[in-house]
Amino acid sequence: MYAFDLKKPIAIGCDHAGFDCKEDLISFLEGEKMVFKDYGCYSKDSVDYPDFAHPVARAVESGEAAFGILLCGSANGVAITANKHAGIRAAICWGEELAELARKHNDANIICIPARFVRDGDAEKMLDTFMNTAFEGGRHQNRIAKI
């Protein structure tokens, strides 16, 4: 059972450094028959990550998207950009355990993946963990409320 309302699309975006990994994740989502909206970029040509992180964050912020996926070389740029939006909790994850903790403890609603530091197949595993992990609430809810 998924931790998100997947009747809504998943928002996904990247810069040029995250393009190949984004394409792999799109194939994964298609294989799982999940609805998503691709906010770009659409090639390996050099682009500015905020141009893609802001639309993904706005989609999650407005409730148009169930959650978001952002990719860039280090994931720092897209995470910093997304976290400027109200209600967004974008977490950098480079392993399954971090993806799980981002959901369980931080109620993250955007997973940010550092494409240059993730092995083939690991992004799909992190995404699967992220989608299937519920927020624990409890003592973590008080911390989230202080953000």
Find out whether 75 and 49 touch, Cβ atoms under 8 Å.
no
Catalytic residue among 14, 21, 41, 72: 72
Annotation says 54 is catalytic: no
Cα-Cα end-to-end distance for the chain = 28
| Cβ density class 34-52: b for 16+ within 10 Å, e for less | bebbbbbbeeeeebebbeb
75: Cβ contacts below 8 Å, ≥ 6 apart: 92, 93, 94, 112, 113, 114, 115
Annotation says 72 is catalytic: yes
Residue 8's alpha-carbon distances to 30, 31, 34, 60, 67, in angstroms, are: 15, 17, 9, 10, 9
Which residues are catalytic, by number? 72, 105
